[in-house]
Structure 1
């Protein structure tokens, strides 16, 4: 069997049909069918069952697909970690929370690509708790998240990039009141308490005994901002300097907490990861970007 045949198998699974896989790979449907038949003959097992007009992977096919993906992944990583420049090529898999993706991440990644034009960067979004788990199980190289609230295991490391203050975010027509007055008088759009930032907000509200009129709960910062923009309520979120300056013309921003509470945003990764040198370059670029924004 060849790598080409394994790539055809994965394309069928991704595209959903022999015809769509052929279109993606530049092959006819007949050529795809021949490759599948040859693979089945070599393995001595059928990989697809016909259901109606569709060919669907059967249990043996799913096992082969899983192994094919691992083989192709290892092949694609064959040059990683070899030679001093190898880690600056290939694919860098990052995770980032929403506030980082809408903040200075674009500028930093543009600089990274300019320095390393052969580097492919893939960014996945999610809540900090979920992204941290994906680093721990090896799915991602590093993640830009809120600092973990639990003790960090010795095989992982954390580096803070920025401390973001929390704000009450209200419609631009909300008067200039204190954070507790706004939260007491307006419907509250609550962030998912599973998110580490959400639990920090809830703890501060309980500590100060601020009574809120919860209107809805969302797991999306952008969703919460949209609700506030429609004047459906107010919310609380952490905002870095870049993002707070963006939003200050559209919303009423009032510092939250007494004293104001902050969350640390930084990079979480495995200590012995093969791309540590590249991640350090990413950290350096973020540090430089934050210095530049502070000087403006």
Structure 2
């Protein structure tokens, strides 16, 4: 049984098909199929059932995948932590929502690179719900996101870094009114309700009986700000202290909610993964700002 075959099995599940796994790994679909067939022969079981034209992981396949993930994690950790600063070398894969990337993340990573110059850092961007799934699949070491709006399973952990209030964001030229009046008066640029922050905004609007004049729905805070900048409407978003101070130079910020609602931003990661000490360094750097 080879590590390569276990990686191939994991890639099939992560990518959704044999063909997509092959593209990810630089293999032909036939080579992927051969590796899985050899793995099945070694284990004496089939790992996939054919459903129509699709190959679906069966019970034995799910068990093998779970055990294979443990083996791959242990294999990948063989070189970690060797030597005094060994665990602070190599590559750190993290994700961050837009509001974090454009505020605290830059100074945090700059401080981290000063301390660990041999460290390579890759940052992925996305919505909180998508980034959380990438942690759960093992694709990312940790993510800086909105606190999950669902129960956190025991194999994962959450660390709060900042509590961010929500604001109605409007063009400087618009007269400042209450949050409800501004949303009722001007076209509303809504955040994608799939985003956890978008869900919190929608819940507060319904609770207070505020029906906005929706102009558009966006999944990007940056795009929403561009619409507001062009005087196309107002939007609502959560802002940390640094980001709020910066945006006040160009926009009017009116606290949103009665009382004002907040979201927690922090770090979501798996328990006991190989880069946890390095993620803790990110947390420490963030809190030192």
TM-score range, shorter chain: 0.7 to 0.9
What is residue 30 of structure 1 aligned with on the other side? none
Contact kept? 2:163, 2:263, Cα under 8 Å? yes
Distance (whole Å) between structure 2 residues aligned to residue 239 and residue 64 of structure 1? 51
**Residues 17-36 of structure 1 correspond to what in structure 2 (within 5 A)?**
none
- Per-residue CA deviation, residues 128-155 of structure 1 (Å, 9 max, x unaligned), is 0000011011000000000011111011
Where does structure 1 lack aligned partners over 5 or more consecutive residues?
Answer: 1-47, 49-55, 290-296
Distance (whole Å) between structure 1 residues aligned to residue 237 and residue 174 of structure 2? 17
Structure number with greater Rg is 1
TM-score (norm 1): 0.73
What is residue 30 of structure 2 aligned with on the other side? 60
What is residue 107 of structure 1 aligned with on the other side? 107
Distance (whole Å) between structure 1 residues aligned to residue 85 and residue 96 of structure 2? 25
State the secondary structure of the residue aligned to 2:288: helix
Distance (whole Å) between structure 2 residues aligned to residue 74 and residue 228 of structure 1? 49
Distance (whole Å) between structure 2 residues aligned to residue 203 and residue 135 of structure 1? 27
Where does structure 2 lack aligned partners over 5 or more consecutive residues?
Answer: 1-21, 37-68
What is residue 284 of structure 1 aligned with on the other side? 284
Distance (whole Å) between structure 1 residues aligned to residue 266 and residue 27 of structure 2? 41
Where do 4+ consecutive residues of structure 1 move more than 6 Å?
73-77
What is residue 169 of structure 1 aligned with on the other side? 169
Report deviation, 1:58.
4.2
What is residue 207 of structure 1 aligned with on the other side? 207
- Per-residue CA deviation, residues 265-292 of structure 1 (Å, 9 max, x unaligned), is 0000111111111111111110111xxx
TM-score (norm 2): 0.75
Distance (whole Å) between structure 2 residues aligned to residue 65 and residue 209 of structure 1? 58
What is residue 184 of structure 1 aligned with on the other side? 184
State the secondary structure of the residue aligned to 1:265: strand
**Residues 215-254 of structure 1 correspond to what in structure 2 (within 5 A)?**
215-254=215-254
State the secondary structure of the residue aligned to 2:161: strand
